Amino acid sequence: MKAAILGHGEFESYRKRMAAILDGWRETYEPLLKRIGSDATPKDIIHTLSEDLLARFAVLPLLDPYDVYQRLLDYWDETMQDDVYLIVAEGWVEAAKPRGIIEDKEKKLKETPDLTIERKKYKMDLIPPPLVVARYSAAEQAALEQFQAEQDTAARELEAFVEECTGEEGLLTDAVNDKGKVTRAGVKDRLKTIQHEPESGEEQAALQRCLALIEAESSTGKAVKDVQTKLDQRVLARYAMLTETEIKTLVVEDKWLATIREAVEGEMQRLTQQLAGRVKELEERYAQPLPELEQEVEAFGAKVEGHLKRMGLFL
């Protein structure tokens, strides 16, 4: 049902109209946002942005403009407001610099780091590392994801093989440790124990296969760690090289406007779900033809009449 709605020509035209409204709003305010300086007033900025967004979406049917308006206000309260105040106070370049995390043992306060390199933990208030990665290290991120996929595959294969070969009379049962785990050391010890037992060929083969899977998971895990470390180092170094123009692009285009667009499109998705639900409701309501319903009513009426007659309540 949802696919049918999304694929309909009228709905596609509606989506394009919504996108055009949002694009017009973005084109109007992107330059203003990039001009934010020490003289800017954050409350005036959000008032201007939100009121104009509300007015523009008021002419679009079906979608409640106040839902779109609220999405913007929510993002302002959660993230954008802090960003703007930080830029006003420190300027774009200073605001974008990484800093150490805040730790206060007495108050039990410890920030979650955005990046950790050689045990040093960094917080990026204005530009989260994923934005820098997406714009400047996409190839390295793709390589990392490939290694992560290989690691996941190796882990699943190992888990499935161990599950298949453990338990009562399983070929790996004697390699299980006291904690119920199959480890590299346990497998090697068991292989050493039975290496001269001719009748243990099947078990040795299972142990060798398990050892190979353990090594594969370990090697892919190490590769993931190495690539992640190099990527993190590259990203941290990139922060020091960012120009004010690049910072504005990352913050305004990649962070603020991209998030607002995603939020508005979320309202479109919600509208689609509502339409699909309404169409399904109507389909269920009118699935049975009226003549058929009338026949059922007559049949039920006759049954009720019969019951009343037997009870002496109907002449």
Q: What is the mean pLDDT of each run of 10 residues along the chain (315 residues)?
A: 56 86 97 97 97 95 91 97 97 96 81 92 96 96 95 95 87 88 93 91 94 95 95 96 97 98 88 65 60 73 70 58
Same domain, 221 and 253: no
Same domain, 141 and 233: yes
- How confident is the model at residue 155, as a pLDDT? 95
Token code pair at residue 172? 């790996």
Q: Could you list the beta-strand ranges (E) of the chain.
A: 99-100, 103-104, 109-110, 115-117, 120-123
Same domain, 89 and 143: no
- How confident is the model at residue 271, as a pLDDT? 73
Same domain, 262 and 233: no
- How confident is the model at residue 262, as a pLDDT? 95
Q: What domain range includes position 49? A: 2-99+243-278
Domain for residue 182, yes or no?
A: yes
Which of 237, 268, 294 terminates a domain? The answer is: 237
Please count the residues of the chain.
315
Domain for residue 195, yes or no?
A: yes
Which of 173, 208, 237 terminates a domain? The answer is: 237
Domain for residue 54, yes or no?
A: yes
Same domain, 207 and 267: no
Same domain, 140 and 233: yes
13, 60 Cβ separation under 8 angstroms: no
Helix-then-strand count for the chain, H and E:
13, 5
Compute the C-alpha angle 48/54/59, nearest 5°: 135
Domain for residue 151, yes or no?
A: yes
d(CA 212, CA 146): 20
Same domain, 212 and 250: no
d(CA 95, CA 78): 18
- How confident is the model at residue 133, as a pLDDT? 97
Same domain, 8 and 84: yes
Long-range contacts formed by 211-218: CB under 8 A, 24+ apart: 211/184, 211/187, 213/154, 213/157, 213/158, 213/161, 214/158, 214/183, 214/184, 214/187, 215/184, 216/154, 216/157, 216/158, 217/151, 217/154, 217/155, 217/158, 218/184
- Side-chain-side CA neighbours of 219 within 13 Å: the count stands at 7
Same domain, 153 and 192: yes
11, 5 Cβ separation under 8 angstroms: yes
Show Cβ contacts of residue 92 under 8 Å, excluding neighbours closer than 6 positions: 244, 247, 248, 251
Domain for residue 167, yes or no?
A: yes
Same domain, 179 and 221: yes
- How confident is the model at residue 109, as a pLDDT? 81
Domain for residue 283, yes or no?
A: no
Compute the C-alpha angle 116/121/123, nearest 5°: 105
Same domain, 166 and 258: no
d(CA 233, CA 42): 34
- How confident is the model at residue 9, as a pLDDT? 66
Number of domains observed in the structure of the chain: 2
Token code pair at residue 299? 């049949």
Show Cβ contacts of residue 26 under 8 Å, excluding neighbours closer than 6 positions: 257, 261
Which of 177, 209, 237 terminates a domain? The answer is: 237
- How confident is the model at residue 168, as a pLDDT? 77
Domain for residue 307, yes or no?
A: no
d(CA 170, CA 182): 12
User: Tokens 């108050």 correspond to what residue?
Assistant: 107
d(CA 255, CA 270): 22
Q: What is the CA radius of gyration of the chain?
A: 32
Same domain, 165 and 229: yes
Domain for residue 25, yes or no?
A: yes
- How confident is the model at residue 307, as a pLDDT? 61
